[in-house]
Every structure is written in C-alpha cells, then in structure tokens.
A and B are shown apart, each in its own frame.
Chain A
C-alpha cells in the first residue's frame, strides 16, 4: 500500500526550528517528487516547496524561501521539511505529498511534463505545528 507517514505534532516557541519527517512506503522517493503543503487554521492550502525524485533539485515558494529546507534520505525512504525562525503565523498543519517533478523550461518557469503528471496523488496524514510563546 502506497502511503506517506509523517512525524507527530510539535509545539514550538517563536524563533525555534522544526523538522518534520515523511516516510514513504509502497514506493521509493527516487521515483516521484515530494511536495510540502501547509494549511493554517481555517485557511486554504499553501505550497511550500518540492524536492526532485532523481537529483535532489529543490524549488521553494518565494514566501518560504530562506526559512524552509526540504531534504531526503533515499536509503531510509524518508523526506524532511525544516522550517526555521518560527513565528505564530506558521501555526498549522503541514502535509508531505507525492507528486510530479518540475523542470526548468528555459524561459523562467518550472513546469511538469504532461506524461509524468498525475496530480498530488498521495498525501501524508499531516503534522500539526503550533507556535506559541
């Protein structure tokens, strides 16, 4: 069974860093990209970034750039997302998601390839991060 299992809830203080793990089973992280999406309480979904399946290439949203680091351990089949310099507005649920890789198209954009695209098809159960003093 293909699934992503994330680490447990975290309660952090402002200024701390948090690192969330995401263990893949039923497939290997070298076959598909891993995306990270977060959801603030009562809000929509926000894409944070992605790590490539093949070569550890990463791409972050401009908003999260500089504070988010996505990594992986291919031997353990685990992906990680670390968020530093936490603030109260980082409170929310963080999801790792299996999805397509993105490629630079030479004109300033990273785009997927249609033959490889099948949506964000497997979601982790979510990790709640609470940032409070």
Chain B
C-alpha cells in the first residue's frame, strides 16, 4: 500500500498569515499527480479542495494552492481566514487501496 507520511498534527496560524501543510507519498506518480486534498470542518463531512495535484474543486478560493510533484507536495493557503479551520487530509488516488494522511489540524491563533 502507498503510505502517506505524517505531516504536522497541528498548525496555529494568525488570520491573514500564510499556512503550509506538507504531504509525502511513499511512491512516485505515474505521469499524473494523483494527490488530492480534503478539508474536514468541525462536525462535517470532508470536502474536496484540490484534485490531481493542483486543480481546485468548484467553489474553492484561489488562496488555496499546491506546490510540488512526484512524492512531495505542500498545500499552501496564502491568507488564512477563520473559515479555514479544520483538519486537512492529503490522499493518494494513484491506486487502490486509496490511502489518506493522518491529517493536520489548522487552528486560528
């Protein structure tokens, strides 16, 4: 199985400041970055943020971007807002079983 290396468990960010959440996969992509990002807001189902490495899902603000390729990726939020709090998960979709990272909790200072 492809293992998603743990990223920081928690991140405390001041509103308006940037935030970065890393994610590493144990296996290289095969020509396409099958790496997604999901946000689970408190008490809610996860929601898709980014798919295929860098494609924002419908309705996702452009302050969410991803850098990296191959096995190392970073989700970057240019200016954190209060509504961004929750747990961020990276997920590899390259092959089954689909696997998720352990999640990074973003909290506001």
Contact = CB atoms under 8 A, between A and B. Distances in A.
Contact of B95 (A110, A114, A121, A123): A110
B28 interface: no
Interface stretch (A20-28, A41-49, A73-81, A84-92): A41-49
Contacts, number: 75
Contacts of A125: 45
Contacts of B91: 45, 120
B41 to A, nearest CB: 12
Contacts of B52: 114, 117-119
B2 to A, nearest CB: 10
A117 B93 contact: yes
B34 A112 contact: yes
A102 B45 contact: no
Query: Chain B's interface: helix, strand, loop or mixed, by majority?
Result: loop
Contacts of B101: 44
Given A47-B100, A61-B97, A111-B94, A117 B51 contact: yes
A35 interface: yes
Interface string B20-46: 000000000011101010100000011
B78 interface: no
Interface string A85-120: 000000000010001101000000111101001111
B45 A95 contact: yes
B76 to A, nearest CB: 18
B97 A117 contact: no
Interface in B86-109: 89, 91, 93-103
Closest 10 CB pairs of A and B: A119-B51, A47-B98, A123-B45, A61-B97, A45-B100, A110-B96, A119-B48, A109-B95, A114-B32, A44-B102
Interface of A: 35, 37, 44-47, 50, 59, 61-62, 95, 99-100, 102, 109-112, 114, 117-121, 123-126
Interface of B: 1, 30-32, 34, 36, 38, 45-48, 50-52, 55, 57, 89, 91, 93-103
13 contacts: A44-B89, A45-B46, A47-B99, A47-B100, A111-B34, A117-B34, A119-B48, A120-B48, A120-B91, A120-B93, A121-B57, A123-B45, A123-B47
